[in-house]
Structure 1
Amino acid sequence: MTDNTPVRSADPHLPSMTRGSDLEAATPVATDRRGVDAQAVSLVAVFTALLVAAAVVPGIPVGGLGVPITLQTLAVMLTGLVLGPVRAGLAVLLYLLLGFVGLPVFSRGQSGLQVLSGPTAGYLVSFLLAALVVGLAARLVLRRTRRTLWVPLLVTASFVTTVVVVHALGVVGLMVNLRLPLQAAITADLPFLPGDLLKDVVAVVAAVAVHRAFPDVLVRQARRASTRR
């Protein structure tokens, strides 16, 4: 039996508490909040490390502009698709800050703010926005649609994000830093597009597998928040 006998506080101005149910109801909430915070920090750290690892893998040079094909876009899209907009944005932002302060975490071991004057600047800047956009799309799709629609909808969202965000800003970076005309910048960018679209498919398949195995990452997160209210 649960003892609901009132417990008087030593301070006469504080209200009385009841044993059992009141205390038991309060305890899980605090514990759950600590768990969610720890999970968020861990996921951000893990995916920041993934972004670094993807940049460390040697890229394949394409053309003469110094922009290699790397696994970075795959890692960025996977981060957004798995973590959602906020945590993915934090992971990519942390990755960029690590590189800007001098750690060799960009492609070909580059680091520092000087990369923003190079040919890859537009692509680097696009990573943060791409993670936010595809992360928001992933959160909406996973929480509001049937599982059978996850792959086609997420592939579509990833394709649109890749073209409209990553490659559009990449072209702008080529135009600004290399002073290329628009047509020349688009021509320089096009060889990267088929590979990035293929990487989008790989990222979606991997992210859907993660969410089916661990639905708490995004699917059940909203339900737990509403329950605490």
Structure 2
Amino acid sequence: MQKSNSIRSLVFIALFAALFIVLSLQQLKITVTPVPITLQTLAVILAGLFLKPKHAFASIFAVIALTATGLPLIGGKGGLSLLTGYTGGFIFAFPFCAMFISMAVGRIFANENLMRNKALSAIVLFIVFELLSSLLAYIPGIPWMMYVLEMPTDKALAAGFYPFIPGDAAKSAIGVAIALGLAPQILRIRGKARSTYETNQEAMIIR
């Protein structure tokens, strides 16, 4: 049983690592500033949503580790030069973002009273996704970009923060829709025991 669970965990880690790679593709990014607009943050949200904390961390960190060997996995690029470049602060923040999202989601889903209130749970999840998938990445990302590019604060915010606010909100909203729409399935993937919330959801569907 333990071996089966380990294999299952590795499969999901690999799956969300692949998702992060796909959503980092060159074809899916928009370059309007030195920092490209991508769907990486959505992959981070989904990893944190569906996986346990250590697995969420591992799924994103595995991509970074493989990228460090030279494999072109992030935006079609690879190597240490990418990871230590001006976007490095954002990249290295992503595994921690996924882990903290997973920890928060676990607590939210465990609160059955909160999950019964769709509007309130949507607001809480949106705030969690915004804070932990986006704003948390800016904390190391912006200062590192300022250091590498020798850029003042106002220009760094204009290049690496302000243009991303609408997209971050949209990706957080998508995460909320997926979280509420697939809550029972997410609980199963995360390996949680059946909860009263899950039972009630299934009962409502049967009715």
Q: Say whether the fold is shared (TM-score over 0.5).
A: yes
Rounded to whole Å, the distance in 2 between the matches of 1:121 and 1:186 is 16
Alignment of 1:16-55 (within 5 A): 31=1, 33-55=2-24
Bigger share in strand? 1
Q: TM-score, normalising length from structure 2? A: 0.83
Query: Are the counterparts in 1 of residues 49 and 105 from structure 2 also a CA contact under 8 Å?
Result: yes
Query: Are the counterparts in 2 of residues 57 and 71 from structure 1 also a CA contact under 8 Å?
Result: no
Distance 1:47 1:84, change over 3 A: same
Structure 1 unaligned segments of length 5 or more: list them: 1-30, 224-229
Structure 2 unaligned segments of length 5 or more: list them: 196-207
Query: Are the counterparts in 2 of residues 211 and 217 from structure 1 also a CA contact under 8 Å?
Result: no
Distance 1:192 1:45, change over 3 A: same
Residue in 1 aligned with 2:126? Answer: 155
Distance 1:100 1:49, change over 3 A: same
Q: TM-score, normalising length from structure 1? A: 0.75
Which structure is higher in RCO with an 8 Å CA cutoff and minimum separation 6?
2
Rounded to whole Å, the distance in 2 between the matches of 1:119 and 1:103 is 19
Rounded to whole Å, the distance in 2 between the matches of 1:116 and 1:99 is 8
- The alpha carbon displacement at 1:121 in A equals 1.1
- The alpha carbon displacement at 1:80 in A equals 0.8
Distance 1:221 1:110, change over 3 A: farther
Rounded to whole Å, the distance in 2 between the matches of 1:35 and 1:209 is 28
Percent of counterpart pairs with the same letter? 28
Of residues 214, 220, 225 in structure 1, which corresponds to 2:192?
A: 220
Residue in 2 aligned with 1:182? Answer: 153
RMSD: 2.0
Distance 1:222 1:125, change over 3 A: farther
Residue in 1 aligned with 2:201? Answer: none
Q: Secondary structure of 2:71's partner?
A: coil
Once the two structures are superposed, what CA deviation does each residue of 1:186-212 show, in whole Å capped at 9, x if it has no partner? Answer: 121210121112111112322333332
